[in-house]
Amino acid sequence: MSTITPEIVAEHGLNEEEYARILNALGREPNINELGIFSVMWSEHCSYKSSRRHLATLPTEAPWVICGPGENAGVIDIGDGQTAIFKMESHNHPSYIEPYQGAATGVGGILRDVFTMGARPVANLNALRFGSPDHPKTRHLLSGVVAGIGGYGNCVGIATVAGQTDFDPAYDGNILVNAMTVGTADADKVFYSAAAGMGNPVVYVGSKTGRDGIHGATMASAEFDDDSEEKRPTVQVGDPFTEKLLIEACLELMAGDSIVAIQDMGAAGLTSSSVEMASKGEVGIELNLDEVPQREENMTPYEMMLSESQERMLMVLEPGREEEAHAIFRKWDLDFAVIGKVTDTNHLTLLHGGEVVGDIPIGPLVDDAPNYDRPHDVKPAAIAAERPDVPAPTELGATLHQMMGSPNLSSRRWIWEQYDHQVMGDTVVLPGGDAGVVRVHGTDKALASVTDCTPRYCYADPVEGGKQAVAETYRNISAVGATPLAITNCLNFGNPEKPEIMGQFVGCIQGMGEACKALDYPVVSGNVSLYNETNGIAILPTPVIGGVGLMQDYKKLVRIALQNDGDSIYILGDTGGHLYQSIYAKVIQDIHVGPAPRVDLAQEKAHSAFVRGQIEDGTLTACHDVADGGTLVALAEMAMAGGKGITLDHEGDHGFWFGEDQGRYILVTSNGAALEAAASEANLSLTKLGRVGGDSLLGQSIDGLKQANEDWMPGYMAAV
């Protein structure tokens, strides 16, 4: 047997204390296969060892939540015996090393999480962060990531309906690629991962196993250094065609009743899937590795257990149903192999060449995983005591023009035109709106979904930033007329072993928790990505929120585009003129200090209810939340989308027009009196800004604004 040296332990990313736990769990020295299994199961990526205790504080329940965190994805009730199933996940490190494949396999992985639970995926979303546009790698990374997301999602045939892309030098060495999938399933056809039934067959389906991505999960949990480019071989290659077949084959099998449990093989492949299934079911699993379909020759047990080859699933079937299941997978030309069985040993037992090559008690492997309470220092980032006032621009209109053509406010059309956003024929709000909206197929219902986060706020004030990320998704979903129901998240941070980074994490979680609680908007699934640091420089704290909401009748939805000349334009919510951390302060005045805007959660709830009520009543002709860039930017976006001008009759200073106070919406109506009366009755602040008409805004032609807004990204990407 192999001897495990301290060097081998260190190479597996385990510290001395963790190795001691392994010795204790086994009561003996592990062999190399067992060590590999412990190392991936106890990696940050799989064990959430730095984050677990904090995630546990998040609200996860509501009457409409069917399944919260812990399964492959979260499940919510959307009425009529139907559910929405969704999750978001990061693929940051692989995408930095190989942007096309990293992003593509990120999409593939999140799709599997959702269809594993019985859902047909109906919408893909993403949240992307890149370094400064001036950084030499940014163009290459952006074009590769976008092509990878499109290449995978388009081929599989799932519409990519919304997303977020930002640039900031903090991501120069660590880009973020977060992918989200939303699916729908009948409530009586939701599948879970708990294995059950002694002797039931454990079945492997999908692609063959190769040596791809061995140690990907541990790589995703390690800080980068300049040698990371050498790690290329551990990046997996995606096969969206096989994924498409896998979706169809799984859904076909799921229509029957032969599946006891099912789990996708994501990070740490066969290891995490079999351990999860055994652990959830409180049973043992015995795997005969000789039966694993293999793409390469002479694969060792270690390689098979740690491979991250894509497009694979593990299932437990009802006894005697193998042939029926096999026939479906044969039709779809996918591998199907019985590779083991459920046991009553509560051990993961591995056989290879007739020998036992691993035998681990599941309990300790899962329950003894490290669970750290890392020191954390929660406080707003150092805000200069002396901070300058944010000066006024010389000319509002020209400043608006400049902002609309700036990297972080410019149109993302260059990106989303590379994604098929209409396949499946149910997309009723296209990218570029407040939220992507897809009909629930064959019904009048629709799901609105969105991803959001404002990392500069999170950096300035983690608690407010965490609240704001949740609140902004809530607002975006409300702005189309949907009722926000639940969120998933993807929490991207630096090295948690540093108290200030851990403090950002803990602060953001606190803020998110407060918001979810106040808004009745629980967390049903999520993912944590730590160690996003290169050479000691961390990313901005980026807790991306993916929100999902429901509309009963899609025909009532409103979009951001201005519809009719003469319509009155209002802003709902008070504007205090908060310019610190605004796009205006950063882009126009180069001022980066100061506090983040505060989020009033009670007001968020009241405003959302009011907006949804007005949309339901048919009072609004257009609606848009006020976010990055403030009121004037929101107005410009609505004008550009509708190809109509705006005449303003409200006087305001630059704080009014560019401030980023939270909780506000632009409401447009043909019936100003009705809207004013409703707001007055609800005791909400509603201010008339002007009316729709003409072909300009503040002297800037809408065509000119649109050109500035549309031209930046294609021009940037075309330059070399």
Partner 1 sequence: MKSAVIVFPGSNCDRDVAVALEKIAGNRPHMVWHGETDLPEVDLVVLPGGFSFGDYLRSGAMAGRSPIMKEVITRAHKGKPTLGICNGFQVLTETGLLPGALMRNAGLNFVCRDVTLKVEHANSAFTNAYTNGDEIRIPVAHHDGNYFADDDTLKALEDNAQVAFRYKDNPNGSQNDIAGIYNESRSVLGLMPHPERAIGAELGSTDGIKMFESLMASL
Active site residue 45: yes
- Burial of 711: CB neighbours in 10 Å, binned 0-12, 13-18, 19+: middle
Indicate which residue of 12, 45, 347, 607 is catalytic.
45
99 binds partner 1 (CB under 8 A): no
Among residues 503, 412, 520, 417, which one has the least CA distance to residue 463?
503
Question: Terminus-to-terminus CA distance in the chain, angstroms?
Answer: 55
What's the CA gap between 489 and 87, in Å, rounded? 7
Nearest-approach distance from CB 591 to partner 1, in angstroms: 37
Nearest-approach distance from CB 561 to partner 1, in angstroms: 12
Q: How far is CA 67 from the centre of its chain?
A: 18
68 binds partner 1 (CB under 8 A): no
Nearer to partner 1, 251 or 338 (CB): 251
424 binds partner 1 (CB under 8 A): yes
Please list, residue by residue across 416-425, b when 16 or more beta carbons sit within 10 angstroms of its beta carbon and e when fewer do: bebbbbeebe
Q: Among 8, 62, 66, 147, which residue interacts with partner 1 (rule: CB under 8 A)?
A: 147
- The window from 78-86, 260-268, 361-369, 411-419 that contacts partner 1 (CB under 8 A) reads 411-419
Give the type of residue at 159: A
- Which residues within the stretch 157-176 sit at the binding site for partner 1 (CB under 8 A)? 157
What's the CA gap between 605 and 682, in Å, rounded? 12
Specify the 3-state DSSP secondary structure of 321: coil
Under 8 Å between Cβ of 660 and 631: no
Please give the C-alpha separations between residue 662 and each of 454, 573, 582, 599, in angstroms, as whole numbers. 12, 8, 11, 6
Active site residue 54: no
What's the CA gap between 445 and 454, in Å, rounded? 30
Letters for 553-582 (x = contact with partner 1 by CB under 8 A, - = none) are -xx---------------------------
418 binds partner 1 (CB under 8 A): yes
- The window from 149-157, 286-294, 516-524, 609-617 that contacts partner 1 (CB under 8 A) reads 149-157
Letters for 368-397 (x = contact with partner 1 by CB under 8 A, - = none) are ------------------------------
419 binds partner 1 (CB under 8 A): yes
- Which residues within the stretch 426-455 sit at the binding site for partner 1 (CB under 8 A)? 427-428, 430
Nearer to partner 1, 330 or 592 (CB): 330
What's the CA gap between 214 and 559, in Å, rounded? 46
Letters for 217-246 (x = contact with partner 1 by CB under 8 A, - = none) are ----------------------xxxx-xx-
Q: Among 155, 392, 682, 684, which residue interacts with partner 1 (rule: CB under 8 A)?
A: 155
Nearest-approach distance from CB 455 to partner 1, in angstroms: 28
Nearer to partner 1, 93 or 439 (CB): 439
Phi-psi sector, 397: left (phi>0), alpha (psi -120 to 50), beta: alpha
What's the CA gap between 593 and 383, in Å, rounded? 6
664 binds partner 1 (CB under 8 A): no
Q: Among 264, 311, 420, 533, which residue interacts with partner 1 (rule: CB under 8 A)?
A: 420
Nearest-approach distance from CB 146 to partner 1, in angstroms: 8
What's the CA gap between 164 and 178, in Å, rounded? 10
Among residues 367, 348, 172, which one has the least CA distance to residue 273?
348
Indicate which residue of 12, 54, 91, 607 is catalytic.
91
Q: Which residues bind partner 1 (CB under 8 A)?
A: 147, 150-151, 154-157, 239-242, 244-245, 331-333, 416-425, 427-428, 430, 554-555
Catalytic residues: 45, 91
